[in-house]
Amino acid sequence: MPKGPIDISFLGDRELEKKLRKLGDPRTQASAARSALRDGAKVVLGESQRLVPVRTGRLKESLKVRAFSAGSRKKRGEFGREVRTGTREELGIAPDDPGYYPAAVEFGHGNVPPRSYLRAAAQNVKTEALATVRSALWRRIQQEARR
C-alpha cells in the first residue's frame, strides 16, 4: 500500500499528476500506476528479448516483467515493475553451481566481454517506455473517471 500520493514526477507531466491525484483513493492511484508501469516494462522486455544472446533459448524464454515491492521498498510504500531473468531452476542451473550465467552474459567475466541485454534494452527504449507509461496512465485515469 502506498504511503500517500503516488509520485510520478519522473514522467514530467504535471497535468497527469493532478489527474492521478484527483482519483482520490491511494489504492486506485496505485492500481493505475502499477498497470501503466507494467505496460512500460513490457516495452523494455521486448527489446531485452531482441538483444539477448541466444544459445539454448532458456535465458530469452526466462525474461519476464515482475513486480518489485519487497523489503525496505515496501516499508517506504514503493512499488514498480522490472524485467528480470529466470531463477536458477528455470534456467536449469544446478543448485550447487556457484555461477549464474545471466549475470556473466550481462556484465562479462574473466576475459569474456559483457553482452549487455538488460541495460542496453532499457537505454534503447527509454523514451518509448516512458511514453507508453504516460499514455497507459492517461487511459487508466479516464477509465476510473468514468466509473
Q: What is the pTM of this model?
A: 0.85
For residue 9, give the nearest of 17, 1, 18 by alpha carbon: 17
Neighbour count for residue 117 (Cβ, 10 Å):
23
Q: Tell me: the pLDDT tens digits for 18-77?
A: 888 888 788 888 888 889 999 999 999 999 999 999 999 999 999 999 987 666 555 556
Taking phi first (over 0 means left), then psi (-120 to 50 degrees means alpha), and beta for anything else, what does residue 9 get? alpha
Backbone angles phi, psi at 84, to 5 degrees: -130, 155
